[in-house]
Every structure is written in C-alpha cells, then in structure tokens.
Structure 1
Amino acid sequence: MVAGVLASMLAAQPAAAVGRPGNLSTKAEPTAVVLSWRPVRGADSYHVQISTTDSFNSVLWSGESLSTMATPTRLLAPGTMHWRVAAEQDGRVGTWSVGKFTLPRSKSPVLVAPADGAQLAQPDEAVLLEWESLPGAQAYQVEVDDANGDWIDFKTAVTSLTSYAPINATPGGTYWWRVRGILGEGNLTPPSEARSFVVGELPKVTLKRTEPLLEDVVLEWDAKPGAVRYEIRVSTDDDFNVITDQRYVAGTRYSPPVTYDNANYWWQVRAVNVDGRAEEWPSESERIGVFRRHWPETPSLVWPQDGSAMTGDPFLEWTPVPKASGYEIQVGSEPSFSSSATFRSCSTNQTTFTLKAFRGTRISPGGCEPFNGTNYWRVRALDNHGSATARVNGVFSSIGSFTYSAPSNTAGTTTPALVTGQRVLLAGTRTSSCIGAVGAEPCTEIPATPVFDWDPVPGATYYQFYLAHDVKLTNMVDNYGDLGNPDSLVSTTSTRFMPSGSLPDTQAGEAYYWYVRACAPGAKPSPCSLTPTSASHAFQKKSAPVRLTTPADGATVADWVTFGWEDYLATNLAWTAGAVGAPGQAALQYHVQVATSPSFTSGTIVDDRRVDQTTYTAFDRTYPEGTLYWRVQAVDGSDNELTWSSVRSFTKQSPAPELRSPEDAVTVSGLRGLRWKPLIGAKYYDVEIYRNADTAASPSNRVAWAQNIRQALFTPPRPLCRRPRETARRRPRSCPLAVMRTAH
C-alpha cells in the first residue's frame, strides 16, 4: 500500500524545467560567424536566432543545431549583432540565453599590379590589373575610372579570377582602378586602395629615307605595333600651312594616285590606334621628310631637220617621253617665244602632228599652222593626270627651225579623181605601213592611233576624211563629223592626217573604217568626188598589254601588297607584234583591279583604282585572306582604257599571332592571363579556348571565347575548368586546354 501511494505521488510531480545554455561565446569574422555555448543536460537540440536589436523584433537568421555550435548560413552586415540560444528537450523549449557580438568590416582586396602611377608602354605592356585572393570572396568587382578619379561615372566588371584586362584602355589615357570582393547576397567589401596607371602613346613613326629628287613619288615608313592605320600629310611648305595631300593609309607605303606637280614637298606620318586616336603632328626635324618632285625628261625633235625647208606633207615629229599623257607644240616666227602674238600653240596625244588640218569646207589656217618663211618650234610633255585643267608641265625641248612656203596649189577645173595609195603608219617618219583595203587582207593589231596617209590627187586642194565604226559610214566615230553634213567633217590640205586625240581599242570582230575624198573648189560638175557609200579601208586597233612585274604569279604575301608593272612607254617601244612596228605611246594613268575571281565579275572585285605611277599599294583598305587575282590596263591621253594585262594570282596570308604565355603544354594553377605578341596592323583579336587540347575547334569543347579584343592580352571571366575534390579513391586531374587566336 505504501509503495502504491509513493508511485502515485511521483507521477503527480511536474517535469523538471529545461536548462539554459551558458558560457555563450562568439568567433566573428567578416565572412563567417561561429556561435557556441555550454551544453544543457538532456537537451535534444538548440534553437538559435540573430537580430540587430535586443528585442529580436526582426530576426536576421534563425536555425536549429544538434550540437553546441551554430554557423549562420547567410552573410551578415558589419556591426553589432544580438543573438540568443534556447535548448529543446522532449518538445519543450527552455529559456533564451542572450549574447551579442560585433561583426568587423570585411577586408579589402590587396592590389598587386600595376604599381600606382605606372607608365605602360604600348602595345607591348598590355594592361592587366592584378590583386591578391581574398578569403571568403566569391568573386570580385573591378572598378575603373577616368583621369579624374572622382568615382562618379566609372565602369565596373565582375570576375571570379584575381586579374582583369580592360579591353578599352586608350593609349595616351590616365585611369584609376580599385577592386571590391563580392561576398554573396549582394554584399561587397570596401574598395581597395585606388591606383592609377597611364597607357602610353603609340610608338613614334620613323620615316624611311627618300631621294632628294623623285620622279615617281613613293613614301614609306616603319610599321608600328598597335597602329591600325597611319595618317600622312604632304605640304609645299615646311610649316604645313598649305596641304597638298592628306589621307589615312592602311599600310606603311603611300604612292599618290595623282601625280604631284614639280615642286618641293614636306611630309610627315603619325600612327592612329583602334580608337582613332593619334599623337599631335610631330615637330622634330628628323620626323619630317622632304623631297623635290621633278620630271626632267624632254622630247627630242625628229622632223623636220633643223634649218631645213619643209616640203611635201607638212608635219612635226618628236620622241616620246615617259609618263606623258600629251604634248604641247609651239610654232613661232621668232626664237624667243616672248609674246603669244608671235607664236601659235596646240596640243596632241601623239608624237606626230600633221599641219594644215581644219574642219568643214572652208580652208582657213588654225592651230599650229606655220608662218611663211622661217619658223621656230618646240615641244614639251604634259601630264594631265585625268584633268585638262590641272596638269604637270614638262620641260621644253630645244628649239628647232624650218622654212615653209605655202604651196601654190591650183584647183582643177574638173571633179578630182578618187584617192589612191591609202595606208596607215605609226609616225610621220616611219616606213612600215599597212594598207588594209576593204575586201582584202585587213590591218590587224595596230597598237596605237595611226597616221593616215594617201597619194596626192592632181587638181585637189584639200581632202575630206571619214572615220566610222561600220563599213557603210553610218556610225561615224565621235568628233569626226556626220556623213550628211560636209561642214562637220575633218579636212586637210595635206595628204597625211594624224588625229590629235587617241582612238579607243576595237573589240573582237570590230574595226575602224576610213575613207578620203578629194576636193577642188570651183571644179565642175562638182568640187568633190561623189559622197562615199562605203569605206575603202579598215584596221583593227589593239594596244599592247601592260607587263606585270611584282608580285610574281602565285606568290604568297603578307599584310600589304605592293603591285608593280613596266612603264607603258617602255612596253610599247619593245612591242614586236603587228606589221607597222612599235608605237611611242605612254600612259595617262593605269587602271588596277584586284578580285576574288579570275573572271573579275561584279561582286568579286575588292579593289578598283586608277593611279598615275607604275606601282600601287592599297592605302584605304585591307584585302581579305586567301587567293586573289590582279590585272592592270593602261589609260591613254584621251582617257581610253586599253588592253588588260595578263591575270596574276597571289595568296594573301597574314601571319598568325605569336603566343607568349603561358608556354605550350605547361600546367598552371590559376590563369593570370593569356598573352601574345602584338601583331603589326591588327585592329582586334579574337580568342577561343578549348578543353581536352582540342586544336580542331569542336564546339562542344569550347570553354571560353572573346571577340574584338584591343590588346594582346585576355583574361577569362571565370575559371576555365573545375577540378574535382581529392578523395582516397579519386585524385584531381589536369584540364588540358588549346588556345586559338586570330587577328583582324
């Protein structure tokens, strides 16, 4: 009975209170907090809370621990924190034990390089910002400001590495930078110290020496890494107040498309970077080039012989001059040529000039008609370079003389007979000729505009000249009149005619057709023979093709391509085809074409340019990589484009970037940037990184890439591969990578 009563009394007693944890302690670091306490006997678990107030109205974090320690699973802001812990036993929660701690501010990243105020020479010293790893940081925020360093309008970038390469650092600019650690949940550490760096200007351009006297103007300079183009300017004064030529050039060689006049010139070049920034124009004397453009060649007089009497067909002839697009002839009554009233002047594209020509049926002197008695004459070459108003004058020849007496031709009283003895030749003193009568053997491959010659007709005082594209003379050549309008026809009192302008080449199957009609004013029943119904003679004009010199056919070239060819006059003087000999024709200009197809069809031409000289380097474009084709044709003094040269090919193959670091097949722990040697002429770089040493560039293995990088450095925005944790059964493996870079 006693035992029963005792058991009833024990069952009625209340359960013992749950104890309170004691000896609360805190270990607080910026990125981790460890809370601990003394255990409560019989406790099953513990409840933990953290708040910014001692009333715990707002709980920042709460959790449950089965041990006597707790670590918050979220980052806490620096400052004073209140925390409490209560034990739980058999579903009952005891009284809270309260503590507090102060969470210190996070440390800032420690900057490593570049040093404060560093001067980074371009393009070799690429901008790479580096700092020490910060414990607890999940990533880093890099902040870059301009020269003001006021941190008002700055740029930011996030990376999980401890280095960063700004891609838009402009040469010549000053920048400030600092780094914050990203701790998670948007929490940032205070910024590191701020440092500045200066991106150096591009290297100064060094001019290559030019000869003091230049006939073909070719200006060259040394290439500078980091320069994507160059700016050149040319002036006729050393202060560059009057600019003759100024333009951007893609390469390191410039030959003006239009010939400079004969004068002294000063020139200078500066490099331009990818942002279009260039240094101030240099003032150092060693960086200013000077030359004199001159054109010393003079024609030599050939006919008539000096002091002789001009008999027969009156004509003038002289030797051709290289680069001449035409010639000016002056014929005067006195040798000093002191007044325009004492001499007559005219021009021609040829080296033979026939006198006594006029237009229509009224005979009248004009042009360079000689004076009765002693005449003096001289010739100079002209380079009109595509413009009749802006020309370069050559040096006058020596002065020759001849005597001339106007013929006393008496017009016949009957209609003149038909003209005979027609032939074409290349100059007045040449003996090689071609007849080319219609219906007989034609004159083929006449390489230049010919002299038209025929026998005199008794009683005829002048001749009408017809030149057409068809045998029926219905389609007259421009500037040669109309069959139905005698006043529009070219006429001459001579039995020889040399056009002042040049005729275009004939196309396949085509020809020029010509006819000469004798006339005698006052003759009966008609002053001229009957109007022709068809031409009597014909010829085909096919000029010599330009001879290419460089590059050789099939050559491989890098960067900028320089084309060269033989001077067209030299080509013509060596011409052996045809029956009339070699012509003395020079070129007004040259037409250069570069294409991706040997047919030069529309859409395949990548460059189409006219130039004055026998060399050309593209200055306003860069050619695509691969096989390209090129050809050149001469343009004569009348702006006719002549026969194309043969077609040559070349392969444009720019050098690949040279890798610098890391070295090939090396194992690195923490990649601090990929570096390569700056490539001459490169504007941007593209980088691709592949795992498993994949050099075949399989898309599945690509782990990082970037395009349009402006410096020879790249830092991936995140680790390239994650290494598995080492265990007793698994060791970490390396992550072999293949890096590919291209420049453009």
Structure 2
Amino acid sequence: DAPVLESPAAGATDQPLTLLLTWHVVAGATAYDVEVAPDAAFRSVTVRRTALTTTSLTVSNLAEATTYHWRVRATSPTGTSDWSTPARFTTRRLPPAAPTLQAPDDAATDLPPQVLLQWIPDARATTYTVQVATTPSFSTLRYVRDVTAPLAEIDSLDFDATYYWRVRASGPGGASDWSAIRVFKTATLASLLPEAPILTDPADARTDVPTSVVLSWQVTTGAQTYTVQLATDEAFEQVAVQRTGVSGNTLSVSGLAYGTTYFWRVRGHRSAAAGPWSEARRFTTAPAPPPTRAPRPASPTHEARETPTILEFFWSALDGAETYTFQLSRHADFRSVVAQQSNLDRTTLMILGLNHATTYFWRIRAHNASGTGPWSNVQSFTTVAAFQSPRPTAPVLLTPVHEARDVPGAIILTWRSVSGATAYQFELSTDSTFQALAAKQTHLTAPAVEVTDLEKNTRYYWRVRAKSPQGDSPWSLIFSFVTSTTVATEGGPDLPETLELLPAFPNPFDHGTTLMLRLPEPGHVTARVYDALGREVATLADRAMPAGIHRLQWLAARQGSGLYFCRVQVGNVVLTRRMMRLR
C-alpha cells in the first residue's frame, strides 16, 4: 500500500525552513522514497531521497514564504508501491536582520542640532523604528519615530548634549532585534554661530545707485544661508526688503525708489543658529531721470460732449514725476491759454466758470528735478448748452495703473467718483474689444470693485462708465494689466520659502488696498496700520496663521489722504510697507 503522510499536516502554514517530514509505517516495506517540489506535478523536484529505512526525513534550506508539495512511496523485495497522496505546506516569512547603523559615526562630536541618521536597508523590512535617548538604557527617550526609508532627520536637539540611538526593522515576517547602539554629541551654540559677514558692494555711503542693485558680501565661515535686510531707516524699523535662506553671497534687489537712502545688513545662519548682524551700510539711489513720456489724460475723455461748466480734470500719474503743468485753451494750437497751473503735486485739477456750449482743448506735462517731459496728446471737450442738464463725465481709472505687471490673482479695481453719477458699469475682458468678458457689473454704487480668481500670466483689459438719470457717460479710457506668473490663492499648496510682505496693491489707492504675506511656517501674525504720526488706525490681523500666502486687505473709508504704514510682526521679525491714500 502507499504510505500515509503524517506531519506536517496537509495545508500547514508558517513552517520553519528546516522541517521534519514524517509518515506512517507500511507493513512489509524495507525502504521509502521521498520527493519535495514547489509544484503539484513534481516537475521540478527540490528534494529527492531514496532507500530511506526510517519513516522520517529532515529537509533544510527551504525558501521562505514558499508553498511545497511532498509525497512518499514504499519499496520491498516484491516491488514498489504507488506514491502517497501528496500534501502541501507553506514556509514562514523571516523577520529582517537587525539594522547596521551607518551615520553619524559612533562617538561623533560637534554635530549640529539637526542630525540625519542613516542605516543599511534590509530587503525584508517595510518599516523601521528609530529611538533617540539621553541615556544608554533608553529609559529617557527624546524621539521615537517610525519611518519607511533607511534614514531619519532629527531636529531641535539641545546644544552640547549627548544622545544615544538605535534602530529596529519590521516586516511581514516580524521584527528584528535592536541594532547596536551608537552615541553622538552635539556642538556648543558658540561653536556653531557664524561670524558677522563683511559687506562688499555697494560701498558705504555710495550715491547714484541704480534702483536695481546687486548686494554682495564676503562668504562667512560656517554660514549655510544668510538673511538680508534692507530698510529706509538706520534702526531697521521700516524694513523694505527681507530675504531669508539666501544660499550665496549676493542678492539682487529691484524696484527701489528713486532718490532714497537705504540701509542694509546681513547675517549668517547655520542650522538653527543665527550669527550676529554685519555692520550696516547705506547707499542712496539715483534721482529720477527726466520724464521721457507724457502723462496720459484721463478725464474728460477726448471729444467728450455735454460736459459741465464746473469740471475736474484727471490724468495718470507718471513714474518719476514730481510736479505737473496743466494748460487749457479754446485753440488746438494753444496760441492763447484760458487757464494754466504749474507745480501741481497731484494728478487732478478743478476748473470753474467754463463757458456753455464751448469747445476747449487741454494738455499736461510732467517735471522733476532732472528736467521737463513732453506735452501729452491734446484732448478736446465741449461743454453743455445753457439750461441743459449735463450727462456725467467718464470715470478716471486709478488702480491698478495702466500696464501694471505682476498683479495678484485677487485685487480691488478703483476709479474716481463722478459728480452726478448714481451707479457705475464695469467690464473686464481678456481682449481689448471686450468681446469675451471675464467679469461685468452694471449697478455698482461705489467707485471700486473686487475681482478674484484671475488666471496667472494673463493680460486683462478693463473700463468703467458712469450712469445717471440724464444718461450714461462715455466709457473711461481702457486700462490693462498682466497677472503674476505665480498667481497664488490664499492658503494654496505651494508654500513660500521665505517670509516676505509684498508691496501694497494698488498703491497709491483710493478706497482700499491689499498686501500679500508669504508665510513659510505657521505662526502668530499681527498686522496693523499706522498713520504718518504713528497712530494706529486699523488692525488687519492678530491671529495664528498656517503656512501659505495670506491676503491682508485694508478698506480705508474713514481715513483721510496721506501716508500710512502697514507693520506686520511674525515672531521676532517685523516687516513694514508704505501706503499712500489719494482721495
């Protein structure tokens, strides 16, 4: 008869890799043959033993997590039996080996408070448990962390402290023993502090510096990154630019104001330690060049009709302009002048007592300390006939200024109030013919509108007209702007790398303005607005904020025209931006 298999039982699992196979005695048998194979057809036999005189066989070197099939037959002088009914068993998975630690070296010293622990990976491991303790018995654990990669970054360690660490691997087959223990010691705080950098360019007290400048300093031993501050005051309370995490020894800064004295300083960082500030230097930017362009007349629009005889003129501000000259005439060649105003420090002028049913011509030009610019294009308008109610004049667009760039994805568009207007119509488009409207409002009661969700790196066109019972005004001049290539929504997924308060936009402004705060880490943010006398006039934020890009909006309806400062404090860092309200 064929033998009857005994152990392991058919279908047994979690069997060791060295295994004892047993079967029942067959009467009359003098020997037994045994076969073990990974396939049920026994085409690929792993173990074959013949002429065994006992009813057991120890097999070794079996593969882990593998199903095997085995069978036995009996032999005697009279012949050979059939094979037994095959049985199968599955071997167990082995646990990983105890990890071998790689870095840092055992007994390493002078390590920074942020250490990368590394060990040799094990193919059987799916996770590793890392322990860092202040005692070799691991009774006082500082860190316990489960990771999937053969490394772990441990930060915020104490300075001048001794730590012990070990690792254990785990996998489907179980957990390994703990690795051998290693020890390391962190450096003292004083040994990690980089020295104060030495500033190199621009030279101290240099003048006529371009508004785009490269700041440079000598590389400081031990510094991994640098923080650069640029301020308009020697005490660095009015910080205009702050960059952290600068990896090299230069920083390009652009968009500085003309004819302004700036102070700048640098300090180095190594891990969590910040070195002392360098000695501060100062430089003064070059004065604004003579105006090369003319201001852009805004209102009344060219060939406007039925304008009132008391009329306010508006034109666009020109970069670098300090004052303006305005001329009004009844002749296109200005051979005689009805009104002229010079040394205007604003972009608006009220003229009284115009004649009814009369055509006038007007123009403006800009001046600064370096010279005088060309006259603008001549604009004409015709006043209303006597006893006729005038239609409202076309609105004057304010912010964002024409051809503005790097505009955020959510902004407030503003324009001048129009006398006699009861509402305003607003249109926003991606083409200058306004065939494809991105936004439209027909009954705005205030001279401002907020638009959101603008596409990045896109040119938009916008215009406004006033409405009244006497009729609609002409459309305003068309302004355009281009959104930033990295339009970010508040709290978006792309976290900023450095702490930064972007300039207010629009600025100058009429009704409201917005500042964007780039916050690389969560923190408590305080944002307050002060007037030129240092009096607090508004609180924009006083709360904990997550890392991300946050919008600080100020609606200044109750404040007068003038200079204001937005002061933002995050931890020990204070950032400041100037804002100008023009009504």
Computing the radius of gyration from Cα coordinates, the structure with the larger value is 1
TM-score with structure 2 length normalisation? 0.35
- TM-score of the two chains, using structure 1 as the length reference: 0.29
Structure with greater contact order relative to length (CA < 8 Å, sep ≥ 6): 1
- Specify which structure has the higher proportion of strand: 2
